[in-house]
Structure formats: structure tokens, C-alpha cells
A and B are shown apart, each in its own frame.
Chain A
């Protein structure tokens, strides 16, 4: 199954001091926002491998942004840097005083990328948005994004406004990661069917170590939720709690985490649990103790089917048949509530 182990090369570029390493540290290395000021300048290229969702490895090239480095990337190192790129993430500093010059550099990078990897995705992050007053943020972001698009030549790019101080960073990276996961439509189809079976308002799949949203599905009712940025806010909330747990149990943030979280309120019920080795599933169902307990039980049953097939590697057709049969144990979601005792032991 090694053929399926996907290694994707991700270039992280942008002017020196624009915040590339800071965001990488927060997303992938469990830094908290106020600690990134300790980071020094990146010299040359820092390589890191990030395992994401088991069979997807991101080969992250954090490219130092000082002019001298930029020149070598474009000249002597050109083929080395720009070949086989799956994704280019280009970071713009919103506070930059030389917008025109930044765009010129960006344009030459885009040229080089087109030459060696014409099929790459390009994401532009307009970073440090927190430095702009709230009421001007959207306008300035849109102006800037238009400028960038006009210089992107052959590529159809995505832009995100971001800041390490709020959830926008999670939104941007979740968008990037979403594009990279192979067979995502299969997972989504499974979740859709599953959500319908257990009457969930919303199901979100989070990656385990980064807590980025992998994908999500909502029911007709669930999609009417007026809070649009709830996914990235959840990432932010859970990651903050993970840091707290790590601090207070004397472990590193990387090894801290939760096995299960359940919350029942009169408005909604929520279940968060380990799903596969690399994901958490977050299920929101309407109030109702019996229906909720069934949903929890079914999620745990679905987990077995899901991970078994993921290990065997039948990625193509995997989730649907198995899961249908396991949820089928409780027709109409009416698994006997007494069997809820099955849900307490944690295999982990």
C-alpha cells in the first residue's frame, strides 16, 4: 500500500518577517500565539514533515524570505525548489510598505512555479490582519486580494485573510488542507449518509494534532446556524484547552489531548471523540437523551468500520458498506438505550 502513501511538497514563501514560521509553529508545532516572538529568522529552507490523516504526509518547505535567499531560489536553486510542488502558500504582510515590490517578487515566484509545477495549487494569505482596525479589515483585504489575483498569471488562486491572534488562521489552513486530502469526497459521502442516519445537525471531522477541520457536513437545520466561523472557532477553543491540559498535567502539548468529551444542554447535545487514529469526530445532535445515546453508540460502532477499512487501504469504496451494516444494528436509530453501557469503556 506504499504507493498510496502520499507525500506532498508544500512551499511556504513570502517576504522576510511576514509570519511564515510563526503560523507554521502554531498550526503544526503546538506553539501558542504569544510564544512565536521567540522564533528567529529562518535561514535558507527549513524542511519539516507533517503527518496528516495517516496516509498524507506534508513535506513542508519553510523558505526564509530575505532577499538574498529569494534570489537563490529563483536562480541557482530554481529547479530544486520549484519542481514537484503540490501547493505554494505565499504569505503577504498586510503592513508592508512596499506593496509593489512584494507583488513583483511574488510574480517571479509564480513564473518559476509555472515553469516547473504548472499543476500546483496556490494559496495567498494576507497576514497580520489583526493590525488593521476592525472596520477597515474587509475592505483592505479585498483590495489587496484583487491586486494579488491580477499578478497571479496562469494560476487560479485562493486568498485568505489571517492573523495568529484569532481563529482566522485555522480557517485559512483548513482551506489549504482540505484541498490536499485524497479521496475526500468518499469521506464526505460517508459522513453525509451517517449524519442522516443518526439525525445529526452537524458532523465535523478534525485532524488530531492540529485540530484543523478536515471536513464537515450539516443537515438542513444545522446549516442554518447563524455562526459561520464556528468551525475555526472550535479549532481554536479545543486547542486552547489542549494547551491548558498539557500545562497542568506536565506533558507536552503534542502528547496531551482528550479521549472523549460530551456535553448535554437543553439546546443541543455534543459528542467529541477519537474517530480514526488521526481524527476526532464532533457530532451535534438535537436534545433528547435517548436519541443522543444512540448517536454516541453508533458513532463508536462506525469508528470500528471506518478505521478497519482505512488500515486495509480500501480507500476507494471503504466506508459505506461496512458502516451501513453496523448502523443497521439499530434500525431507525432505536438501539436499545440499555446498551449504552457499551459506550463507557474507552479502547484507547
Chain B
């Protein structure tokens, strides 16, 4: 069925859930979104997990209590959106164990367009606590709202923040602490990419998936293969070649095209009858003007 000529092909693979694989650590991993107020935590979670158009995030109210979102996807996980006003470590009424007690990731959002010294200081205190008592929490830093910064300034800000945090941690005796940094913006694909990386670390089967995909890619002469979560457009795994942003963007937009077209033609009516046998999984491909091909196969529901 597939076109088998020698042109470069770029298959995307869309999927929603990997069956029964999420039992391994007993509980659903948690993503904890933290940072100062107005740094963009709720915007991120709405854009990535609720398909909100970025322009509408301007109207989001400030978060006043912890918002817990349960995401049922390829892997069930929870997103906890924290109000920025509260300082958790210094509020004795909050039981840190209930927050950090499980396997998960702490996503700290820093507004790169604002004065970030305060945020960095708080992040440092948080890292020290978390590192000490809850080493099963990954620490991920989103240097956010970078769409408003020039290329050069963006780079400087990134370096500065990384430097400040590393210095502080070194002083406290944590060398090479496992803290990861991402430049993000909700106006492009960077935030999806960053979330993809964060979530991938929480998938115990990641290396197996990557291996399988790499074998597939090499044997079929594909340029790049992604295993996508259709709903959030986060990629769960990809082959081991370097991630190519344009390719990721196109795959991600192509998923939108298919989802949108499906919406238009998936209506139910007793007179709509199939004409014959067909696979239960959706399949789609497009050939672009430069002969590249994007192929999508649904792996499971």
C-alpha cells in the first residue's frame, strides 16, 4: 500500500495510549507546574493540554488554588498547576510529602521578559529541598515567554539563568545536579517540544520504544519518525537521530489537518454504509511540493 520509491519519507505515527504499560510505578506520574505568579504556568497547561489558542491565554484569570488536571492519554498522568503567590517551602500547613511524594517532574516556569532574580532565588531553595528529600522528582526549568526577546538576548538570558542556578547549587554542594533547561514560548512549538522531553523521561519503556522506532526508521529509509500523542501533540518517542524542528512542526500541523478534516466528515447517519473491508486504524499521507512525504499511521486508540 505504501509508496515504496526512494524519495525521503517522513512518517509520523499518531497514537493516543499505549495499552496497559503504565502500571510499572504503581501511580500516575505528576507534573508540578511552579513559578512566580504571572509567569505563564496556566497558559502553558491550557495551550498544551486543552488546545487553547495562544492568543486567548491573555484572558486567563490568575490561579488561586492548585488546579489538578488528570490527563488520560498514552500514559495517564496528572498536571498540577500551582498558584504563584504561595511559597510552599515556608508554609507549614502544606505537607510537602503529598506534593513531592510521588514519581514525577517539577516544571519551574521563569518569565524571561521580567526581572527573574527573585524567581531564580526561589527556584534554588526549592531545588535544594527537593534534591535532598525527594530525589525521584526531575527538575525542569522553562525559561518562558522568549518569543518577545531577540535571538541574541534570548541566548544571554539562558546562559545567565543557567549560570546563577548552577553556581548556587555548587555552593550548596550539589555538583552536576540533574536540572534541565528549555527556552519556551506558547506562540510556537517550543513549549510542546519541551513538554515532550519532560514527559519522555517519565516513561519507563522509553528506551525500548526508541529502539524499535530506530530499527523501523533505518530499515524503511525514513528520514525521521515520531510517536505522537494525538491529543496534545507531544511526542512520546522518536528515533535517535537529532530532532529536526521544521519536521516536528510539519508533523504536528499535519495532525491538526487530519483531526480537523475528520471532524468535518465523521458524522453518523444510518444511511452511511461502508463499501467494504478496511483497517480500523486511520492512516494518512501527504506529498509536498518538494516530494517529501509525511505519513501517519494510527497505532492504537
Q: Which residues of A contact B (CB under 8 A)?
A: 199, 201, 220-221, 224-227, 230, 233-234, 237-238, 240-241, 244-245, 247-249, 251, 255-270, 284-292, 344-346
B277 and A288 within 8 A (CB): yes
A258 and B288 within 8 A (CB): yes
Which A residues touch B265, using CB under 8 A?
201, 225, 230, 267-268, 270, 284
Stretch at the interface among B67-75, B108-116, B143-151, B246-254: B246-254
Given contacts A238-B257, A287-B274, 19 further A-B contacts (CB under 8 A): A201-B265, A224-B267, A227-B267, A233-B260, A234-B264, A245-B250, A245-B289, A255-B289, A257-B289, A258-B287, A260-B285, A260-B287, A261-B287, A264-B278, A264-B283, A270-B265, A288-B278, A344-B4, A346-B287
B253 and A241 within 8 A (CB): yes
Measured as residues with beta carbon below 8 angstroms from the partner, the interface class of chain B is: 35 or more
Interface of A, helix, strand, loop or mixed by DSSP: mixed
Which B residues touch A259, using CB under 8 A?
287-289, 291
Which B residues touch A268, using CB under 8 A?
265-266
B277 and A263 within 8 A (CB): no
A290 (CB) vs chain B CBs: closest residue = B276
- Rounded to whole Å, the gap between the CB of A112 and the closest CB of chain B is 41
B282 and A226 within 8 A (CB): no
Identify which of B256, B265, B284, B287 gathers the most chain A CB atoms within 10 Å of its CB. B265
B257 (CB) vs chain A CBs: closest residue = A241
Given known contacts A251-B289, A255-B289, A257-B288, A263 and B258 CB-to-CB distance under 8 angstroms = yes
A-B contact count (CB 8 A): 134
A261 (CB) vs chain B CBs: closest residue = B286
Which A residues touch B272, using CB under 8 A?
201, 221, 267, 286
A261 and B285 within 8 A (CB): yes
Given known contacts A287-B275, A344-B5, A265 and B282 CB-to-CB distance under 8 angstroms = yes
A263 and B261 within 8 A (CB): yes
In angstroms, Cα B260 to Cα A290, docked, is: 25
In angstroms, Cα B273 to Cα A234, docked, is: 23
In angstroms, Cα B246 to Cα A244, docked, is: 9
Is B241 close to A, CB under 8 A? no
Which A residues touch B278, using CB under 8 A?
264, 266, 269, 287-289, 292
Which A residues touch B247, using CB under 8 A?
248
Could you jot down 27 A-B contacts, CB within 8 Å? A201-B272, A221-B269, A224-B271, A225-B267, A226-B267, A230-B264, A238-B257, A241-B253, A241-B257, A245-B289, A248-B247, A249-B246, A249-B292, A258-B288, A259-B288, A260-B285, A261-B286, A262-B284, A266-B280, A267-B272, A268-B265, A270-B261, A270-B265, A287-B276, A290-B275, A290-B277, A291-B276
A233 and B264 within 8 A (CB): yes
Given known contacts A263-B284, A285-B275, A344 and B3 CB-to-CB distance under 8 angstroms = yes
In angstroms, Cα B257 to Cα A345, docked, is: 24
